[in-house]
Structure 1
């Protein structure tokens, strides 16, 4: 729960993104995937994006120190919060953490680094997590904080794609997915689906394209089945959901809060801009989409689903990913994210932007950084060119994260200087922004201008 719900006591806001990798049973077989260390470091620094959930007295506890220029900029826009962090990657007097020190869940890091006395001094009583992991309860015990949180096993159960698929049947809605619990079952179910076209093979805890595969023919399916069969012979279990590839027109999500009493608050509907199976951005749904959903009974369906989630032991934030198909049919529950989410972050960003009479598009650009680049150079360039969003009556680009941009550049540069790592290509980063424009066309123009600024700074843009 954020301070908006918690009341007068200051709150610690924190969390580790991609919690699905921490919920997933290690005894389950995995789909083939290329390791991406750059992505892992970036995701670990996405906790900066939680600042919209903070009030002025709340503490945002992040893995890495937020760039001071970004912190001052956000405060100037009215996003006031106190910042604490575990690592200062720019502190040249300290050696950089190795993976074993850098990668643990933020709750584990915070339990070892945040003194209980310091929390009591600031009268901090509450915790608002991005998602609940196995380390969350340990952190609560270590700090003496309270949190009206559901238990971990409930959280894992309701976040599984198997749960969301079965929930559709429980509320009387059309169910698209079919479960497969072995490589042999995958081929049998998959063969039936392939007769009608391509299908999506989903890991129960896959997220944003990771752990999902598009299967278009039997040859591809056979290679995947063989890959899984090898793992099964080593004692692992296969557990996957197979869904026909739906011809979608609109991706959207609805966001809610279930109180411990069972009462439910509606927060927002967000249009999602997806790139293939990957998250690409969020923007508040317009009134025409809301009216369409109301007339189609979508919100009545959500109320049924929320009631069952509560009966099954869950309370807290929840996001339903949904679709409108090309034929006008609504697929009300594609996935459930029983945690905070990117669409919810945009909804809270918009609450902060309301004082400036604006809303924004939350999106990101994947970057390759040149030697000697600093985050401050980007803020300065945007300001000089009049592209930096400045508040009421203005439009522009609002950067909302710094370490997602800089973490790999800093880690690689320092490890090269320490003789730990040799040189390799351009460090990868991800720039999260809120694009504050008059309409879709204006937002597109602002992004084009941003791309030009990045090009002028010798930054490569990959998406």
Structure 2
């Protein structure tokens, strides 16, 4: 592998250069640190694993994408018609739903040999997973692939919410009012200080260091709710004496903002995507792009991203990082709520103007669907078309569904219902039309 790899350039002005081997190994957090799993929902885990298809939004035709299941052919053809590049797709021999995608790859000798041949015969091949753990390091080592990521231990350190706050403090960036706690007594003290101090917060958020998709985050709005949570955390603390938590005030916000940075091996930091996040409580449900700003806020975020990127590079971090931040009701930017040292769902929708056009405005949305019948990708598109919502490339407007495997395809054995998720882009040339289409989509999603 030459030293020419730069992810952002390869996805934009150098799209013909090299080959990227993509892997969407969502759930990497469980290999980095001890994360309390909570209640395991097998059906939900199966749907989440099929979010892998959104990686197609980034792929180039010469690339290789490893998926646990082959996508719906009609879905691939529709993406191709809309202007997306469809790569070569490889699928591990085992379809064990209990295993992660990297575990499936490592158990497939034929697939490993195929990747090894690729690394030996092609000059520029970059292995780019969603996140890098010991498993992806093993895949790279066994196949002779160049893994473009920081070491797994560095990734684990970056994906530490307490460490994220400490980075912000070292850089002198504004942080949420709060403190790091090492016992349930300190959590109780922090809660009292935040709810009775100046300002007095109506809610407090308590964060475990690790976790994703809202896991390990607890919003507390009463002493009673705090006491119930502390009983649970105290049980955990008894077997984990080094446990720490972050306790912060819950701010009223003008906006939740995510910005993506790419830290090159040489330490160059590029801020390549700034989006307004759409959250339900603490769980991401979509993004709005581009942000409707005049320019000053964007420049501030680019400056924050460069500072954080330099700090991450100093501890050995390279690759993509997604940073969540907020703008408070008072207009103050708190630039670090958490840093995800990996791809995020927002990363995959960061380079869409190549297909949608520079003038396009869009909202990404996802909906949990429950249906009495199986709904394929073609079924969903037909319903959208009948409702006048399906994306029309000739006018760059409509609803573009960008995964097929997450749809309600299989019945829940216990209920007989079909559960799934609809991931969609709502696209138009002005925000008024985007919001109008989004309202219609919400109404339709309720009837799926």
TM-score (norm 1): 0.85
Would the aligned equivalents of 1:360 and 1:435 in 2 still touch at CA under 8 Å? yes
Q: What corresponds to 1:419 in structure 2?
A: none
Would the aligned equivalents of 2:367 and 2:445 in 1 still touch at CA under 8 Å? no
SS of the aligned residue for 1:333 comes to: strand
Does residue 13 (structure 1) correspond to residue 13 (structure 2)? The answer is no
Deviations 1:211-264 (A, max 9, x none): 211111222212111112223334565321111111211111111211101112
SS of the aligned residue for 1:210 comes to: coil
SS of the aligned residue for 2:391 comes to: coil
Quote the Cα distance in structure 2 between the aligned partners of 1:86 and 1:194: 52
Cα deviation, residue 174, structure 1: 2.9
Would the aligned equivalents of 1:398 and 1:435 in 2 still touch at CA under 8 Å? yes
Q: Which has the higher helix share?
A: 1
Cα deviation, residue 51, structure 1: 1.2
SS of the aligned residue for 1:305 comes to: helix
4+ residue stretches of structure 1 with deviation over 6 A?
none
The equivalent position to 1:264 in structure 2, one of 269, 284, 289, is 269
Q: What corresponds to 2:354 in structure 1?
A: 351
Does residue 430 (structure 1) correspond to residue 435 (structure 2)? The answer is no
Quote the Cα distance in structure 2 between the aligned partners of 1:233 and 1:299: 42
Superposition map of 1:99-138 within 5 A = 101-113=96-108, 115-119=111-115, 120=117, 123=122, 125-138=125-138
Cα deviation, residue 133, structure 1: 2.0
The equivalent position to 2:321 in structure 1, one of 318, 339, 359, is 318
SS of the aligned residue for 1:324 comes to: strand
SS of the aligned residue for 1:65 comes to: coil
Cα deviation, residue 427, structure 1: 2.5
SS of the aligned residue for 1:8 comes to: coil
Deviations 1:290-342 (A, max 9, x none): 33343xx4433332221111101101112221111111111011111121122
Task: Return closer, same or farther for 1:240/1:425 CA change in 2, 3 Å cut-off.
Answer: farther
The equivalent position to 2:383 in structure 1, one of 363, 381, 384, is 381
Would the aligned equivalents of 1:362 and 1:432 in 2 still touch at CA under 8 Å? yes
SS of the aligned residue for 1:403 comes to: coil
Does residue 281 (structure 1) correspond to residue 286 (structure 2)? The answer is yes
Q: Which has the higher contact order (CA 8 A, sep 6+)?
A: 1
Would the aligned equivalents of 1:228 and 1:238 in 2 still touch at CA under 8 Å? no
Quote the Cα distance in structure 2 between the aligned partners of 1:310 and 1:251: 25
Cα deviation, residue 82, structure 1: 2.1
Cα deviation, residue 192, structure 1: 1.9
